[in-house]
Structures are given as structure tokens and as C-alpha cells.
Amino acid sequence: MPYLAVVADPDAGRRQSSAEALEAAGFTVSTAADQAGLSALLDNSDPSVLVLDSSLSDIETAAPALVLVDLDSPAEVKAVEHAGVRDCIAKPPVAKELVHRATALINLVSRRNESREEAETLRERLRQVSAAVRGTNDPRQIADLVVRGFGETFGADRVWLTTFDDERVPPITAQWHRPRLAPLPDDLFSDEESARKTADALWTRAETVTVEDAHPSAAEGDIRLPAELAALGAAASVAVPMGEGSSSLGLIWMALMDSPRDWSRAELGLIQHVAGNAAHGLIQSHLITNQQQVVKQLQQLDKAKTDFLATVNHELRTPLTSIMAYLDMIQENTSDPVSHEVHQMLDIVVRNTERLRLLVEDMLSVSRNGHEESPLHLTPVRLARTLEIVTAALRPLAKLQNVTIAVAPAREDPEILADEVQLQQVFTNLVSNAIKFTPGGGRIDVGMRLHADPDGARLATVSVADTGMGISGDELAHIFTRFYRASNAMSGAVPGTGLGLAITQDIVRRHGGRIDVASELGAGTTVSVSLPFDAHAMQVP
């Protein structure tokens, strides 16, 4: 299609001669004699070039403009400094020069637009490479994405990526090449020191090294390609470091084997940007891989610990059962009864053996937690009756501590679906804890109430309130942590392992309930266990 030119000149003769010269060269020409006529033409057309008298050159337009000026007039010469793509020509213009300058101006704009489009296309392709790199944690996939992305984006023949022996990144080598080329050996570098030296020098200077012909000595300054890469004799190549902090950790090399090529500053900047994303991705993937290995090792150690605890618990329970059986036989022997003093000593042995048995049971519960949780054997359970059984069993212990246990009578005792044995363990842990932490002369109140939560679900809440030493506010958040013991329990030499509440919370959680603790240091503690009536709320394994 012919170029469209707009000639705007108040001088009719000059306007006509300019138009005729451009039409003779194949241009389609429109003319205007003044500012209004020029504006009207620009509103209705998109000219390839404007030929303007300096008196009309202050018009705002995106089209390139060739301004006719009187070279002896400083004011007219200054008119070409207006923004936009502009050139000037002396008036009256010579026809051949006018056509040449107008055509050159059009070609200049065309080349700039093409370069801008190519740069945007290049930027978009490399943006997609960077996005793909950020979208994976697989170091092999990151390396393959980078070499393939560089190769296809820049039309290269070979792309090579390697990391050095560095704790920050995994050892990895990746390459991309044209189908007609043989792959390079993975052990290309007989000694990575030369490659590391090049990469360190480039990383320190924040530079790339380019070679535009087959002679590696053409590289600027004292930075040279590694000998193994230089020996490949590429017609054009670029090497860019991957690094982090003060040192490099790898090198990317891209080459055209037969065709010389100039690398623009914008291209080198984009290459460095993608190399930086690749380095970050490889570092992150290496960290994640190491963390996954640590997690796996911790899981293996945790399983080994659980297996060990289960084995030890089993081995401990057998002799304990035998010991308790023989103690019962000795105490109940009527044919040869023991003295009162020996009977008291046997009572102490029995109590301590029972404590040891409970400790073994707690350890077994902890070892199963998160691994082989014992299933819930759900049956209809009456909570008031369960509380009576638990408090009756613990009253002798409370009496020894001079602590009173009071159970508030329940107005009603509806059935809930639960594991009665495990619920007994929950309330035994809570009441025995209250006994341990309540000084002589203290009191423990056990009560139950029925209510509905805000969602309308029916709940039964059992509370165990004591007048013991209490727990400080900053320690309340930790009391359900396994093996955690409050500071006042440690300083007061109160016996325990710190397992009871952790086990209790787990059992309550598996029943679909919740456990809450309110405490005031020196005034006492209240523990509340809320259990649902509905079986579907339970987290049954």
C-alpha cells in the first residue's frame, strides 16, 4: 500500500511542489494550507509522514514529521525540537531529497516499532519462563524450563546450565540443543574451578560475558569463557552467572554455533533476570527438599519412639500385674495374717504400684496417639453414674490428703453415646489431678449440667473445681502439651509426668467434645468437659 503523506504549508507554490514530488514517488498525498485544515486531515486519517512548514509544526501528533525550515532563522530551526519523531529539511526542499528524507523517517519509525514489538514479545516469553520456574519446586524441572525457554526464545543452538558444588543448591546439569546437534557430555567440565572463576567474576561485577565471533579472546576485560565452552567454537554466545549473596552458585551458557549475533542491553538484562529467578527457585527447592528429608527422618524417629514405648509398656505391665496379684494375696491371707506395721507398709507398696501401673497406662496412651489410636467402643453411658464410680474410687486417696470430694446431685441422668472406659479415664485424670494440687483441708466439687450450644446441639458439661494452688495465666496455654508441668508443680514437688491432661484432651476430642480450663493462681482451678449427645459429632477412627 502507498504511504500516506500530509503536506501542510501556507505557501501555495511550495505546498504544490512538495505534493507533486511525493506523488511522483508513489505517495498518496493530502494537503492543508493552515492549522485548521491540518487538524481536520489528522482527525480523519493516519498519515505515514507529515511534511510541515515550521509555522505549523507545533501540532500534537504521533506521526513522524519532516519540518521545512529556513536554516538562517534560529526560531524556525528550534521548531524541530518539538517532542516526537522529527527531522528538518531546508526550504524550499529539493524534490529528490524531500522524498528520501520522508521515506527514511518512515523507515526509522517502522524499525523502532518492530524493535518495540520484538522486545515486548521477548519480555513476554521470558516472563512465562519465570512464571513456570516460580510454579515448581522440582530442581530438575526448573533447570529444564530455563534451558528450553532460553533456547526457544532466542533461537539458540545450545543452552547449558550447571550448578557448582555448593550447599545452597542441588548438584544439577541441564542442557537444550537443536535436534541436529549431539548433546554435550554431562561431565563437560573436567574441573569446575574455571567455570566457577568465570561465574564469580561475572557475579561480582553484575555482568554477562558475550562472544560475537568464533574467537573467545574477543571477550572484554579479563573475564573469559571456561576453556571447555570456548573450545566449542560458537559464533556467538553469552554466559550469565546464577548467584545469591556474595558468590555465584552456577552458570548458564547460551550459544549460536554458526550465526554471529549482537546481544542488546535489553536482552542481556532479561537473561540476567531469568537467571536470578532460576537461582532463587533452585535455592528454594533445595531448602524444601532438605526440609522434607528432615520431616521424613523425624517421622521415622517418632515411629521408632512409639514402637519402643509400646514394647517397654508391654514388658512393664507383665511384671506389674504379677506384683499386684501377689500383694493382694498377701493382704487377704487370713491363715497367716501380717502385722499391722507390715500391713501399712504393704498399703504404701500397693499405692505406689498402682501409681506405676497408671503411669504405664498413660505412656501407652501417648504412644498410640497419632499412630494406632485405640478405637472407641461406643455404648449408652450415664454420666452421673460414671462420675459416682470415679469419685468413689478416688475418695480413699482424697481422704489420705485430707481433701473433701463433693458430687452435686444431678437433676437428670440422660444417656450419651460414648466409650465408658475412656470416659472413666478422663474423669479419673481430672479428679486425681485436683487431689494432687489441693492442699489438706481443701475441697473438690464435681458437677454436671445439661444445655445447648449456640448452634443448638445438646451438650452435657462436667466440671471439676478445686481450691488448690491454681495455674498462672501465662502457663494455661501449655498445660495440654505432653510432658509439660506447671512451675508451681515442679517447685512443690507434686508427683506427675505431665501426660494426664494431654491424654484427657485427646479422648475428649475424639468424642467430639471440648475441654476448657479456668484457673487463678493460689485460688484454684476449674476444668470443664463438654460432650455432645449426638453420635455423629464424634471423631470415631
Of 103, 101, 93, residue with least CA distance to 14: 93
CB contact at 8 A, 7 and 29: yes
Angle at 96 between CA 69 and CA 27, to 5 degrees: 90
Query: From CA 143, how far away is CA 160, in angstroms rounded?
Result: 9
In this prediction, what percent of the chain has a pLDDT beyond 90?
Answer: 30
* Cell reading at 384: 452421673
**pLDDT digit string, tens, across residues 31-65:** 999 999 999 999 888 999 999 998 888 888 888 98
Which of 304, 363, 298, 360 has its CA nearest to residue 502? Answer: 363
The C-alpha torsion from 492 through 494 and 496 to 499, rounded to 10°, is -60
Q: Would you state the pLDDT for residue 221? A: 53
Per-residue pLDDT tens over the stretch 437-479: 888 899 999 999 888 877 777 888 999 999 988 888 777 877 8
Coil vs helix vs strand at 459: strand
At 320, give phi and psi (nearest 5°). -65, -40
Exposure string for 421-449, b = 16+ CB within 10 A, e = fewer? ebbbbbbbbbbbbbbbbbeeebbbbbbbe
Q: Which amino acid is at 196?
A: R
By CB atoms closer than 10 A (0-12, 13-18, 19+), residue 309 is middle
Q: Give the pLDDT of residue 494.
A: 53
Q: What residues pair up with 528 in beta bridges, in sequence order?
A: 463, 516
Euclidean distance between CA atoms 77 and 80, whole angstroms: 6
Amino acid making up residue 44 = N
CB 209 within 8 A of CB 225: yes
The answer to whether 132 and 145 are in contact (CB under 8 A) is yes
Structure confidence at residue 537 (pLDDT)? 45
DSSP calls for 462-485 = EEEEE-S----HHHHTTTTSTT--
Indicate the helix (H) or strand (E) that contains 309. Answer: helix 265-332
Distance in angstroms (rounded) separating the CA atoms of residues 225 and 265:
19
Contact 52, 9 (CB under 8 A): yes
pLDDT at 217: 43
Distinct helix (H) and strand (E) counts, the chain: 14, 17
Low-confidence residues of the chain: pLDDT under 70? 1, 79-85, 212-222, 309-310, 313-314, 317-318, 334, 355, 358, 361-374, 482-498, 534-541
The per-residue pLDDT for 541 is 41
Element (H, E) at 110: helix 95-134
Q: Could you tell me how far CA 496 lies from the centroid of its own chain?
A: 40
In 333-419, alpha helices (H): 340-368, 383-400
User: What does DSSP say about strands 247-256 and 443-452: parallel, antiparallel, or unpaired?
Assistant: unpaired
C-alpha cell at 153: 526464545
Q: How many angstroms separate the CA atoms of 378 and 419, rounded? A: 5
pTM: 0.51
Query: Which domains, ranges and CATH numbers included, belong to the chain?
Result: 4-116 (3.40.50.2300), 133-283 (3.30.450.40), 379-537 (3.30.565.10)
